[in-house]
């Protein structure tokens, strides 16, 4: 742990929304988690995780956006997607028409989701943040698949007019706000919808919501490689009648 912390202090410029690589075993667990949610063979989940890891155009777009943004003092040059690898694979397998992400921050998640939608050849990513300066990484051809909304995510979700096929909570990490997002979005969730949470390692907001509404809940825990942070994870809910 001391060695990992020292290495991070010397080499990293990230102090919020940390990024890291996953251990090989944890990456394998992620593939099985995705396969379970998406109802597919694990070999397909592995293939899509590898696809985004090997996408040089995607990496170059992120590198160029970081350079243009002047954010080199708050973000690292290395591209480390960790749980977002799972987000991407889920998008590629389920081919959603509408993906909604709450909490844009730098835009790494939105870019990863857009890469999946772009590969699919259809669909939109809607990313919501209270900060109008968020999302500076969303750029290049990927920006054509992203709608950026500024405001309170609970209010925006309450008034959302399109069916949501994939909802990802990654905004204000309190139980009340997270649960509020899920409740606001409930009427807009499509029959094939999947709901993900970036905060299920801290609160039971998604599992509580899933139980009340009769959905199934499952969870994947990240294991970072060579990093002091213990990792977060992905909480997932799917309809009880699906898969």
Task: Return the minimum-mean-pLDDT range out of 67-71, 104-108, 115-119, 192-196.
Answer: 67-71
pLDDT, tens digit (0-9, with 9 covering 90-100), for 89-147: 999 999 999 999 999 999 999 999 999 999 999 999 999 999 999 999 999 999 999 99
Task: Return the minimum-mean-pLDDT range out of 17-26, 81-90, 155-164.
Answer: 17-26
Residue 12 has pLDDT above 50, yes or no: no
pTM, to two decimals: 0.89
Separation of alpha carbons 90 and 70, rounded Å: 31
Residue 18 has pLDDT above 80, yes or no: no
Separation of alpha carbons 78 and 113, rounded Å: 18
Q: Bigger pLDDT: 78 or 58? A: 58
Residue 241 has pLDDT above 50, yes or no: no
Output the pLDDT for position 52.
Answer: 96
Q: Bigger pLDDT: 19 or 107? A: 107
Q: Bigger pLDDT: 82 or 152? A: 152
- CATH classification of the domain holding 74: 3.40.50.150
Structural domain boundaries enclosing 134: 2-239
Q: How does the average pLDDT of the chain come out, rounded?
A: 89
Give the list of residues 6+ apart from residue 237 with CB closer than 8 angstroms, or none. 194, 195, 196, 206, 207, 209, 210, 215, 216, 217
Q: Total structural domains in the chain?
A: 1
Residue 54 has pLDDT above 70, yes or no: yes
Residue 36 has pLDDT above 60, yes or no: yes
């Amino acid at each position: 742990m001391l060695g990992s912390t020292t290495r991070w202090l010397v080499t990293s410029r990230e102090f919020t929304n940390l990024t890291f690589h996953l251990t090989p075993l944890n990456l394998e667990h992620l593939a099985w988690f995705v396969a379970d949610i998406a109802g597919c063979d694990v070999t397909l989940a592995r293939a899509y995780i590898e696809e985004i890891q090997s996408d040089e155009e995607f990496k170059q777009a992120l590198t160029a956006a970081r350079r243009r943004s002047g954010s080199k003092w708050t973000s690292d040059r290395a591209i480390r997607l960790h749980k977002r690898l799972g987000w991407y694979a889920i998008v590629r397998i389920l081919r959603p028409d509408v993906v909604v992400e709450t909490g844009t921050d730098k835009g790494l998640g939105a870019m990863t989701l857009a890469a999946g939608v772009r590969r699919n050849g259809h669909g939109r990513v809607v990313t919501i943040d209270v900060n109008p300066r968020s999302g500076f990484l969303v750029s290049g051809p990927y920006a054509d698949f992203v709608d950026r909304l500024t405001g309170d995510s609970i209010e925006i979700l309450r008034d959302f007019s399109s069916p949501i096929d994939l909802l990802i909570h990654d905004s204000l990490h309190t139980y009340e706000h997270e649960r509020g997002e899920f409740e606001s979005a409930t009427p807009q969730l499509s029959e094939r919808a999947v709901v993900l949470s970036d905060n299920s390692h801290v609160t039971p907001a998604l599992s509580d919501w899933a139980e009340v509404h009769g959905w199934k809940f499952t969870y994947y825990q990240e294991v970072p490689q060579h990093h002091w942070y213990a990792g977060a994870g992905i909480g997932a809910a799917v309809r009880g009648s699906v898969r």
